[in-house]
Amino acid sequence: MAKGDKKRKEKWLQKRHSFSRKTGTKGKPYQRVLIVCEGEKTEPDYFRQFRVTSAEIKIVGTGYNTMALVREALRLKKEAGDNDEPYDQVWCVFDRDSFPAPDVDNAWHTARKKKLRTALSNEAFELWFLLHFDYMIAAHTRYQYQEMLSVRMGRQYKKNDPEMYHELLSRQQIAIENAKKLIGQYDPRKPATDNPCTEVHELVMELNNQR
């Protein structure tokens, strides 16, 4: 082995052996969780409000959609693994919106095949907010979601509102039950056409489990 290669290997081994996980308040090892969001503000701002004590959470707002988002999540996952700081969970948070159905389905199936978790909303993330108020089975556009939220909240809903988590927190369990009921209607799953539907509650429950 060349001298330079030997030094690089020794440095890598030192880093590997020095890496140790922190422990949470209950003495169990921290999980490292990466949340890669399509939106750059609304979704990251919402998830950053969760009080998590037994996990390291990294939230990235990319501005990417469908397969570009999945590729970025895979890149970040590999980068962390190469640095010997692997993630235990990697989540892709994205919307159906008006993207071509094959793109949405391909992104969803690819993510799951690559062992990524998905929090897909059809049609948009605001469906999760609406489920805090009502169980919904009729499809609406993302613009209608915003109008419906304004009515239910008694004020104008604005995207990127940093107060949404706290304002809706008391209704969160209602939203989880509504989302479970809604997603249960679709068997087998067809992500691009399951409308309305959201998987956001699965990520919310995971974050709540890490308190």
Band of residue 211 on the pLDDT scale cut at 50, 70, 90 = confident
For residue 150, give the H/E element and its range: helix 142-153
Using alpha carbons, select from 198, 199, 126 the residue that is nearest to residue 161: 126
The pLDDT of residue 168 is above 90: yes
Q: What is the pLDDT of residues 139-159, one digit of tens each?
A: 999 999 999 999 999 999 998
Find how far residue 50's CA is from the centre of its chain. Answer: 13
In eight-state DSSP terms, residue 27 is S
- What pLDDT does 27 receive? 55
**Mean pLDDT along residues 51-55:** 91
Band of residue 162 on the pLDDT scale cut at 50, 70, 90 = confident
Q: List domains and CATH numbers for the chain.
A: 23-209 (3.40.50)
pTM for this structure?
A: 0.86
Q: Residue 121 pairs with which residues in a beta bridge?
A: 95, 198
Using alpha carbons, select from 118, 125, 162 the residue that is nearest to residue 142: 125
- What pLDDT does 157 receive? 96
